């Protein structure tokens, strides 16, 4: 059975472009033009993924994202946000609200199809985990032993570096903002500077050697593990 994608966008030419290309790629699509209908459809007939435009009439995309991620019926449905250039703040807020990825307009339909596939892959059965081990791109991350190794042997990491790596590598392709990383590593009550994260990331990259390139900088937002 093909995966169903719910498109939430008020501009009909963009809806047509998305729907056409997704169907060509083998997906089923459904479109709604406002946030209220999106929430209703997501509950009544949950799609495998939602493409959510940020600029919508009445309830905006961020609010729709927040409501979907707060409702136990819809919280696990992956969301890709469609944002315009210059909506960087919205992008960061969206990722913090739980969106899985974002695509900047204007986009190529091919990019959309690739992103949709990537998000579906990693949210369904993307990563191979054997027990408490996570294996990605030649690295084995052992959650119980708090140890990382490659074919060449154990890579010695601090507790902070280990946490950051396992978080990033646990969701390849997902962008983590600096404040999300900070919360995850040190907890909500920690008030650090963005460059604190940057320092830890650059040390982590150095220790990973050739694998350091797997952690990519997403300019103006944060970091992601190559997915």
Binding site for Ca ion (CB under 5 A): 10, 53, 55
- Residue 200 sits at φ, ψ, to 5 deg, of -65, -40
What is the residue-wise DSSP string for 96-107? HTT--EEEEES-
Nearest distance in Å: CB 6, Ca ion:
15
Nearest distance in Å: CB 82, Ca ion:
8
Q: Which is nearer to Ca ion, 53 or 142 (CB)?
A: 53
Nearest distance in Å: CB 89, Ca ion:
17
What is the residue-wise DSSP string for 29-84? EEEESSHHHHHHHHHHS--SEEEEES--SSS-HHHHHHHHHHSTTTTTS-EEEEEE
Q: How many of the other CB atoms lie within 10 Å of CB of 26?
A: 10
Q: Which of 206, 127, 130, 199 is nearest to 169 (CA)?
A: 127
Q: Which is nearer to Ca ion, 22 or 185 (CB)?
A: 22
Q: Residue 111 has what DSSP assignment? A: H
- Residue 205 sits at φ, ψ, to 5 deg, of -60, -40
Q: Which is nearer to Ca ion, 9 or 161 (CB)?
A: 9
Nearest distance in Å: CB 43, Ca ion:
22
Nearest distance in Å: CB 67, Ca ion:
18
Q: Return d(Cα 174, Cα 219) in angstroms, integer.
A: 14
Q: Which is nearer to Ca ion, 8 or 169 (CB)?
A: 8
Q: Which is nearer to Ca ion, 17 or 55 (CB)?
A: 55
- Name the residue whose CB lies closest to Ca ion: 55
């Amino acid at each position: 059975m093909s995966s169903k994608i719910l498109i939430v966008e008020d501009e009909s030419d963009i809806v047509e472009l998305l729907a056409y290309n997704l169907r060509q790629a083998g997906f089923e699509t459904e479109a709604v033009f406002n946030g209220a209908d999106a929430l209703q459809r997501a509950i009544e007939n949950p799609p495998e993924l939602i493409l959510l435009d940020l600029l919508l009439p009445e309830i905006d995309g961020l609010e729709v994202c927040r409501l979907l991620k707060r409702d136990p019926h819809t919280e696990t449905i992956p969301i890709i946000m469609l944002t315009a250039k210059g909506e960087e703040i919205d992008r960061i807020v969206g990722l913090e609200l739980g969106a899985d990825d974002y695509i900047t307009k204007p986009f190529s339909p091919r990019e959309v199809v690739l992103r949709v596939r990537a998000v579906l892959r990693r949210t369904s059965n993307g990563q191979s985990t054997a027990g408490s081990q996570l294996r990605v791109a030649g690295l084995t991350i052992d959650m119980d032993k708090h140890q990382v190794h490659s074919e060449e042997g154990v890579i010695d990491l601090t507790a902070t570096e280990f946490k950051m790596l396992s978080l990033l590598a646990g969701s390849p392709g997902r962008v983590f903002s600096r404040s999300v990383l900070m919360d995850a590593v040190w907890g909500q009550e920690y008030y650090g500077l963005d460059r604190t994260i940057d320092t830890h990331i650059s040390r982590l990259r150095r220790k990973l050697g050739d694998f350091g390139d797997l952690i990519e900088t997403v300019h103006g937002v944060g970091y992601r593990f190559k997915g």
